[in-house]
Every structure is written in structure tokens, then in C-alpha cells.
């Protein structure tokens, strides 16, 4: 297994969730954890979703946002705030700032696309 994973901005891709992702670490060689860098443009709210069987943590790096977890009122988050999202719980984040919102999404166990539940378009 590799021991150093290099950041490559050229691997960024846009998702149906309305955010840009760079997978920093997501490999079958490490099923215990994945780390992605997410970027949300100003004024955008990501789609309501949940992830089955995976706990997520958002580590806010840049920007200002409001996060909604499990239908509770939106809560303001800023750099170095951490958002804890239990498995299977609904979530979305809204960039309320004038610059891109950038955060790490740390998943345990690692994120797998088949665990993603689109709650925005299934309602």
C-alpha cells in the first residue's frame, strides 16, 4: 500500500450533489477511512443526502456556511469547525460566503458510491 498520497488539483470533478470533489484518499487498501476535499461555490446549497453505513466529519477549511443535519435548523460553520454526521442521517451544506467553501469530508469506513442516498430527488 502507498504511504504518501499526493494532492492533485487536476482530479477535481463535479457531482450531482452540486459540489466539486477531489478524492485525497479512497482505496480498497484502506477500508477504514476515506478523505475528500469538497468545494462548494458561493450561494450553492448541496443536495439533501445521507450515507448508509458511514460516519462523516466535515472539517471546514475555508469560507462560511450553514449546515443542516437530520432536519434540524441550519447552523453556521466557519474554518476549523468540525461537523459530525452519524451514519444514515440527512445532511446538506449551504455556502453563505462570497468565496468558495472548502472542507474535508472524512468518512469511516471509507465512502462507497453505493452507500450514497439522494434524498433531494427521491422525495
Residue with cell 454526521: 85
**CA–CA separation, 59 vs 51, rounded Å?**
17
CA-CA distance, 68 to 120, in Å (whole number)?
A: 13
Q: Residue 103 and residue 62: Cα distance in Å, rounded?
A: 7
Closest by alpha carbon to 52, among 85, 83, 25, 30? Answer: 85
CB 115 within 8 A of CB 54: yes
Tens of pLDDT, residues 10-62? 999 999 999 999 999 999 999 999 999 999 999 999 999 999 999 999 999 99
Predicted TM-score (pTM) of the model is: 0.94
| The pLDDT of residue 27 | 94
Amino acid at each position: 500500500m502507498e504511504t504518501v498520497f499526493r494532492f492533485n488539483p487536476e482530479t477535481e470533478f463535479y457531482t450531482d450533489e452540486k459540489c466539486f470533489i477531489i478524492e485525497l484518499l479512497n482505496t480498497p487498501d484502506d477500508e477504514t477511512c476515506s478523505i475528500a476535499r469538497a468545494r462548494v461555490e458561493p450561494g450553492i446549497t448541496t443536495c439533501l443526502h445521507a450515507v448508509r453505513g458511514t460516519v462523516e466529519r466535515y472539517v471546514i477549511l475555508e469560507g462560511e456556511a450553514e449546515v443542516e443535519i437530520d432536519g434540524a435548523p441550519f447552523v453556521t460553520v466557519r474554518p476549523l469547525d468540525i461537523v459530525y454526521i452519524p451514519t444514515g442521517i440527512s445532511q446538506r451544506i449551504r455556502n453563505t460566503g462570497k468565496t468558495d467553501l472548502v472542507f474535508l469530508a472524512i468518512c469511516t469506513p471509507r465512502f462507497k458510491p453505493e452507500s450514497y442516498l439522494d434524498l433531494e430527488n427521491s422525495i
